[in-house]
């Protein structure tokens, strides 16, 4: 997909403020180390990633469950285990210094902040606020963002995922935080089936990393049709980066990498206006988050 400046004119791009960041010395060394790691043959890269960890260590859990909510949750919750002294040297090495691990946690915080803002904004005009998470995985971002509002706003939350295990995990997490979502085991493409009351917000963070353009555009178009006029899509895509080769070969985590402008082009082809798309790049440049509003006059 080639960049078309005229096609993308009006898209707003900004950088998220620093959140979790690596030590300064690592910023200097990272380009060389990341390039070296990505150059390694697959077997050596895999052995290096697992070295020093037990069967229950974070690295082994991630390596056994790449692309799943289990692997993502392992990275999300690493700081809690580290603070409790329940991580290995191997875990600390990779999860404190791999930009991909650090920035997925930055992405979580950023998505939660944006969802909180959108929910409060919509609540000024409509109650309850209807939120649907498609390809929800653990749904931590939507669940925690709603829980953080402490009941100030009534939110009707629906979760859609093809993985029964992911939905079960999300239900347990939601219960722990006092949230009671509706859950549906189905493909994201069938969102309209579960949106008789059209959602104000659709969250789809992480799913586009695994969907080719020819399937991504129809999916986003279906979401565009489903949300209410003036409603929002919050989505994201991983960006090409120096660790990409190591993540693919060493962790065996295969994804579809898109530059921010390529993500914007998908969104525009699916129906969103460039002037209604706001892209936020995570602090280490690993993810581009898109906040897209459907025009208020479109049915």
Give tens-digit pLDDT for 121-171. Answer: 999 998 899 999 999 999 999 999 999 999 999 999 999 999 999 999 999
Contacts 24+ apart (CB under 8 A), 243-248: 243/34, 243/37, 243/38, 243/98, 243/99, 243/100, 244/38, 245/37, 245/38, 245/39, 246/34, 246/37, 246/38, 246/40, 246/45, 246/49, 247/100
| Percent of the chain with pLDDT strictly greater than 90 | 89
Mean pLDDT, to the nearest integer, of 176-205?
A: 96
The answer to whether residue 208 is domain-embedded is yes
pLDDT at 4: 55
The answer to whether residue 266 is domain-embedded is yes
| Percent of the chain with pLDDT strictly greater than 70 | 97
**Which structural domain, as residue segments, surrounds residue 212?**
5-14+104-240+255-293
pLDDT at 89: 87
pLDDT at 27: 92
Tokens encoding 7: 């096609």
Measured in degrees and rounded to the nearest 5, phi and psi for residue 132 equal -125, 130
- Shared domain check, 115 and 88: no
Q: How far apart are CA 220 and CA 233, in angstroms?
A: 9
Number of domains in the chain: 2
- Shared domain check, 267 and 159: yes
- Shared domain check, 262 and 197: yes
- Shared domain check, 112 and 185: yes
- Shared domain check, 135 and 73: no
- Shared domain check, 141 and 79: no
Final residue in a domain of this structure, among 101, 125, 141: 101
Q: Cα 158 to chain center, whole Å?
A: 17
- Shared domain check, 272 and 129: yes
Final residue in a domain of this structure, among 101, 132, 160: 101
Tokens encoding 230: 């003036």
Quickly tell me which residue has 């697992």 as its tokens: 50
Whole-model pTM: value is 0.94
- Shared domain check, 142 and 92: no
- Shared domain check, 174 and 234: yes
């Amino acid at each position: 997909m080639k960049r078309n400046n005229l096609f993308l004119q009006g898209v707003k791009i900004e950088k998220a403020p620093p959140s979790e960041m690596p030590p300064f010395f690592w910023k200097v060394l990272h380009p060389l180390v990341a390039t070296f790691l990505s150059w390694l043959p697959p077997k050596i890269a895999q052995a290096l990633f697992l070295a020093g960890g037990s069967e229950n260590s974070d690295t082994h859990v991630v390596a056994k469950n790449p692309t799943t909510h289990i692997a993502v949750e392992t990275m999300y919750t690493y700081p809690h285990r580290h603070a409790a002294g329940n991580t290995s040297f191997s875990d600390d090495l990779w999860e404190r210094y791999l930009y991909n691990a650090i920035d997925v946690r930055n992405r979580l915080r950023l998505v939660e902040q944006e969802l909180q803002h959108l929910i409060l904004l919509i609540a000024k005009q409509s109650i309850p606020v209807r939120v649907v998470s498609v390809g929800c995985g653990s749904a931590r971002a939507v669940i925690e963002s709603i829980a953080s509002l402490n009941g100030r706003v009534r939110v009707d939350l629906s979760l859609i995922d093809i993985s029964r295990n992911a939905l079960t995990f999300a239900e347990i997490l939601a219960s722990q935080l006092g949230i009671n979502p509706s859950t549906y085991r189905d493909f994201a493409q069938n969102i309209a089936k579960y949106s008789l009351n059209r959602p104000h917000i659709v969250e789809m963070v992480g799913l586009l990393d695994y969907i080719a353009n020819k399937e991504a555009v129809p999916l986003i178009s279906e979401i565009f049709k489903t949300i209410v006029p003036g409603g929002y899509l919050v989505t994201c895509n991983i960006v090409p980066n120096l660790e990409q080769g190591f993540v693919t070969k060493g962790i065996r985590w295969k994804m579809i990498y898109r530059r921010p402008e390529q993500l914007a082009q998908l969104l525009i082809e699916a129906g969103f206006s460039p002037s209604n798309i706001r892209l936020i790049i995570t602090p280490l440049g690993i993810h581009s988050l898109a906040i897209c509003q459907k025009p208020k006059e479109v049915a």
